Amino acid sequence: MVLTAGPANAQPVLHTLHENKVLRSTQPLWDQKAETNGKSVILQRRPMRLDLFYLVTAWATEPEDEHRLLGRCLVALSRYSHLPEELTPEWFKTKSKPIPLTIAQEEHLKSPQPADLWSALENKWRPAFTCLVTVELDLYQPFSLPLVQHREVAVGQSANPGRRQLTAEPPAGHFWTIGGNLHTDRPLEEIGLRLIETGQDIPVLPEGRFVVSKLKAGDYTLEIRFKDSPPRRHKIVVPAADYEIVV
C-alpha cells in the first residue's frame, strides 16, 4: 500500500512479526459447531494470532511535505480501532472477526530500535510512526465428526489393568453418560429438561444438545418443561442408539 500526495508518498514497511501469546487460546483448543443434521459436529482448531509490526514513513523532496503527509496518515489511521474494510486483503475478508489496528505506541519501538532498522535499510533516520495489525491464521482444516451418543464407564477389580479388563462379571459398578438433541420450534431458553428418576435438572445448550452422566442401564423418563404450557414426558432407555427428542 502506497499513499501519495503530490510529489510525496507514504508507505508502511513490515519489519517484525511474531505470535501474540497473550491471545493464544489453549482451553478449549477446538471450536465446535453442531451441524443441522443433529448427528455430527464440525471441529475447527483455534487460529494462531500473529502480530504484524509496520513502520509508516513518508518520502518527499522537501521535509515539510514529508511531515504533512505523515501527519495526514497518522490522523486517518487513528480514527480506526480495526483495519478498514477497503484496506483489508481479500483473504482476510472471509474471517468473522475484524482485524485490530493499533497506532503510534511507544512499546512497539523496543525491538528493533529505529536506529537499527534504518541502518539495516542503509538509509538515514526518518520520521515515522508504528502500526500494529493482529491477524488470525487458520493452520488446520475443519473436519466433521459424529456426536457421541453415549459413553460407558465400568468400575471394578482387574487382574491386568493394562488391558482394561475387569475380573468381576458383572462389574461392581457400571455407569453410562448419554448425549442427545432436543428438536423444537420453540425458543430453547424457555425450555427446561429434568430426569424424573433422579430429580436432576439437565442443562440444554443453545443448539439443543444435552448430556446426562452417571446413569446405570435401565429405563428413565425425561420431563420437558415449557414456559407457557404443561410439561411433556419422554421415555428413554440406557444404553440406546440415539437420543433425539422432538417436541
pLDDT at res. 2: 45
Mean pLDDT of 113-118: 70
Do 83 and 157 lie in one domain? The reply is no
Task: Give 141 or 196, the one with higher predicted confidence.
Answer: 196
Do 134 and 230 lie in one domain? The reply is no
CATH number at residue 162: 2.60.40.10
126 CB burial (10 A radius; 0-12, 13-18, 19+) = middle
Do 116 and 159 lie in one domain? The reply is no
Do 121 and 172 lie in one domain? The reply is no
pLDDT at 136 over 70: yes
CA distance 204 to 149: 15
Total structural domains within the chain: 2
pLDDT at res. 205: 86
pLDDT at 7 over 60: no
Least confident of 64-68, 91-95, 188-192: 91-95
Do 26 and 106 lie in one domain? The reply is yes
Do 36 and 82 lie in one domain? The reply is yes
Mean pLDDT of 120-138: 81
CA–CA–CA angle 16, 19, 25 (5° rounding): 165
143, 160, 175 - which closes a domain: 143
Contacts 24+ apart (CB under 8 A), 22-26: 23/49, 23/134, 24/48, 24/49
Place of cell 522537501: 62
Do 179 and 119 lie in one domain? The reply is no
pLDDT at 46 over 80: yes
Closest to 57 in 3D by CA, of 118, 120, 122: 118
What is the average pLDDT score of the chain? 81
Domain range for 191: 148-246
Closest to 223 in 3D by CA, of 207, 214, 210: 210
CA distance 86 to 102: 17
127, 143, 159 - which closes a domain: 143
Do 177 and 216 lie in one domain? The reply is yes
Q: Compute φ and ψ for 188, nearest 5 degrees.
A: -65, -30
143, 170, 203 - which closes a domain: 143
pTM for this model (two decimals)? 0.54
Closest to 233 in 3D by CA, of 243, 222, 244, 242: 222
Do 165 and 130 lie in one domain? The reply is no
Do 112 and 131 lie in one domain? The reply is yes
pLDDT at res. 234: 93
Do 158 and 241 lie in one domain? The reply is yes
Looking at the chain, the number of H-run helices and the number of E-run strands are 2, 16
Q: Which helix (H) or strand (E) holds 63?
A: helix 63-78
Do 73 and 113 lie in one domain? The reply is yes
